[in-house]
Structure 1
Amino acid sequence: MKHNVKPSLALTAALLLSASVVTGCATTPLTMADVPAVHDRTLTLDTHIDIPLTYIKEIDPSGPTALQVDLPKLDAGQLDSGFWIVYTPQGELTTAGIAAAQAISETRLDAICKLTQNFPESFGLAKTADDVRRITDEGRHAVLIGMENAYPLGLTGYEEELKIYTEIGVRYVGLTHFGHNQFGDSSNPHPTRDNGPKWGGLSPDGRKLVDILNKNGIMVDVSHAGKATMMQAADLSRAPIIASHSGVKAVADTARNLDDEQLRKIAEVNGVAQMVALGSYVKLPTAKQAAAREALDKEFGDRSGWWPSKQARYDERRKKIAAMAPEATVADFVDHIDHAVKVAGIDHVGIASDFDGGGGIDGWKDASETQNVTAELVKRGYSEADIAKIWGGNLLRVMEAVEVVAEQ
């Protein structure tokens, strides 16, 4: 665990500025020997940590587990904080589909709350940027809640449904997931339910939802959203938006990754794009791997109804396909950060692991290896102030801006 008391981001910036003024020049470039101390001083925030439906009920995250994120791994890697995710797969736009989705989301939401309730000495629920700083200063891990896929909010009455999630602690909502929903088009249409774009971006309800999220102090998340959906959300939102876990197309051209126009739009609205460490979005598969993955997905079908045992079988098969070629590395991952910084600017880029949801690359397999990302940033020449922005400062700035808009 990091030291219980560490300077705030504002104080860190002030100290760095002071050092620059005293010396009359830029601060001395970091070396690899500086990595442990820099990592220790940096508030690290991962915007996407998934959990299984058996979390807390059958899995005790306070001890060693088979998960990529548990307390021993968080402590070992000095990963201070993150968004634990209420993920719901996309189902049919029917009353029955919504009911099933709400049951899934409630199960995950309850588990995240119990994480902080059962282990208050190690975890604290954060609802504001200041909460994150306070909890991590206390030497605990700050647990924020993100909602991946707005689908469970319903076909009607979603403003009231959102209030329930908001009161509990949800602080970002992803508009879509795989497959179009009632709020907008996805970057990845469902192979059987969807036939091209459904709405041409946001639906009328999606436009209303963006406004409701602004009013409630919830960050609008455009990861998984189609480009038109994302661009329209950026223009409509009165607060900065985020892409909670996305890569960049210029490095790996997949449907889910962001192109340069999208990166510039996120910067234009003072948002942040969180680069994701999920191998298939970091580094493109070979033709042989792509064919094998397509065949596997066809064999296993729609994942929305999978039990943990089926998910485990699928994951094991995916591992064998991944082993056909060298996997993505931390260096490959930071290539995405480099490009996003070049296009959007240092103030608009962050980090997401997607651990326990498919994430993990060579060098950052789980939370215990988090320092390796900081090491690669140092190796690339980033300053400590820049590393602090990428690792959490930018996201906390957006949170604060969203909080201000909600108060207006």
Structure 2
Amino acid sequence: MKRLSPLHLCALAVSAIVSAPSFAADTPDYSASELANKIAQETIIVDGHIDVPYRVKNAWVDVTKATEDGDFDYPRAVKGGLNAPFMSIYVPASLDNSPESTQLAHLLIDSVEAIVARAPDKFAIAKSTDDVKKHFEAGLISLPMGMENGSPLQGDLDNLRDFYERGIRYITLAHSQSNHISDSSYDLRRQWKGLSPFGKKLVTEMNNIGIMLDISHVSDDAFYQVVDITKVPVIASHSSLRKFTPGFERNMNDDMIKALGENGGVIMINFGSSFVSKEAGQWRKGLTAARKALIAKEGEDSPKLENFEKSYREKVPYPYSTLDEVLDHIDHVVELIGIEHVGIGSDYDGVGDSLPIGLKDVASFPNLVQGLLDRGYSRKDIEKILSGNLLRVWEQVEQYAATHG
């Protein structure tokens, strides 16, 4: 059982005064029972993807204390029971093929280390599954790290080793554009028709060194090539299901989910509304079309562009998804390939104002637990979703590297 330190108990009290977004009276009323809160507090909760490092790069804020904005800070994490969020070392595709991509990745790792240095009684860097478990027992929040976009490797395996030493434990091979490793699901240019020659070599090297392969963002062809080459299970650190978002290649289709199950991997469900429901994706397309129409009419210098999304939302309200719809994604994975292959990759601090009703920030994990209880999931199964499945994959990757590295 997790032992709460006095600092944790104090943080629980502070978190109660953190304001939450308000919604219309007819929105679902999600509240967690004592049992749901107990499970959240007594279970390791791994979130596969939280964009704190890039958030604090853009506008520095001390997340070791309560913050007025964003989705993550220490008091809210403690309130929600979140104790092992993967910090995303996100490098924009605009920096691909430049030394700046490598430099930025190191600077973002520095920022995670700085969080720990400011509050070593609250946070600790986690480089192994054993670290996560030890920190949990000590009442510390683990900060493992994953690199979103393999661009910083620059085709150099020495960089891979450097980033491993600094704590990177998964790499999302590409982001919004095809890079020197892999094609991207967002990029119509399929220059490699999957993985590049270096990308295929990288899969083996990541297996050998002990870094998990993250297939979120890559093209379908790249996904299948990864699972064909890898000797260990892979993860999708923050992806949801194409069944509920037809035509959205960034999510995974049923055949891919089945292949992931055969590989032994885990898909970690993204909470962003456009990942969860087709209505949110259609709204985003409408926003883009309206913006283009304004530019065509008034030009790039139109003052109306400055707060265009805010104005558009006032006219066309954003169709937030709900906790229930997120649970539908989890249910479908379980139906397809079993309880052992689904986890949580919220994308908190990475999807802006698009989070579902009932899951607005990291304090919301008890709501997720309650939803799972309401759908008949046992505590043992809930523990697998919250962390057991991801830790199992991570341990398999560690064990393989120990004998092949």
TM beyond 0.5: yes
Asked whether 1:63 is paired with 2:56, we answer no
| Counterpart in the other structure of 1:99 | 99
After TM superposition, give the deviation of residue 293 of structure 1 in Å: 3.3
After TM superposition, give the deviation of residue 326 of structure 1 in Å: 3.2
After TM superposition, give the deviation of residue 36 of structure 1 in Å: 2.2
The residue correspondences of 1:7-406 to structure 2 (distance < 5 A) are 34-53=35-54, 55=56, 58-65=60-67, 66-91=69-94, 94=97, 98-154=98-154, 156=155, 158-189=156-187, 195-253=188-246, 254-285=248-279, 287=282, 289-296=284-291, 317=310, 320=313, 324-358=317-351, 360-406=355-401
Kept in 1, the 8 Å contact 2:341–2:389? The answer is: yes
Alpha-carbon separation, structure 1, partners of 2:120 and 2:222: 39
After TM superposition, give the deviation of residue 324 of structure 1 in Å: 1.7
Bigger mean CA offset, 354-363 vs 382-391: 354-363
Kept in 1, the 8 Å contact 2:175–2:217? The answer is: yes
Kept in 2, the 8 Å contact 1:126–1:142? The answer is: yes
Kept in 2, the 8 Å contact 1:214–1:238? The answer is: yes
Alpha-carbon separation, structure 1, partners of 2:308 and 2:110: 25
Read off the aligned partner of 2:265 and give its amino acid letter. G
Q: Percent identity?
A: 33
Structure 1 residues 88, 35: CA separation in 2 closer, same or farther (over 3 Å shift)? same
SS at match of 1:334: helix
Bigger mean CA offset, 144-153 vs 113-122: 113-122
SS at match of 1:186: coil
After TM superposition, give the deviation of residue 343 of structure 1 in Å: 0.9
Alpha-carbon separation, structure 1, partners of 2:367 and 2:148: 27
SS at match of 1:229: helix
1:89-143 CA distance string (max 9 Å, x none): 113654xxx2121232122111011112221100011111111111011111011
Alpha-carbon separation, structure 2, partners of 1:4 and 1:89: 38
Unaligned runs of 5+ in 1: 6-30, 190-194, 301-312
Q: What do you get for the CA RMSD once the two structures are aligned?
A: 2.5
1:203-240 CA distance string (max 9 Å, x none): 10100111111111000000001111011101101111
Alpha-carbon separation, structure 2, partners of 1:138 and 1:297: 53
Unaligned runs of 5+ in 2: 6-31, 296-305
Alpha-carbon separation, structure 2, partners of 1:319 and 1:69: 27
SS at match of 2:144: strand
Give every structure 1 segment of 4 or more consecutive aligned residues whose post-TM-superposition deviation is greater than 3 Å: 286-289, 293-300, 313-319
Alpha-carbon separation, structure 2, partners of 1:221 and 1:315: 34
Alpha-carbon separation, structure 1, partners of 2:142 and 2:165: 17
TM score, norm. by length of structure 2:
0.83
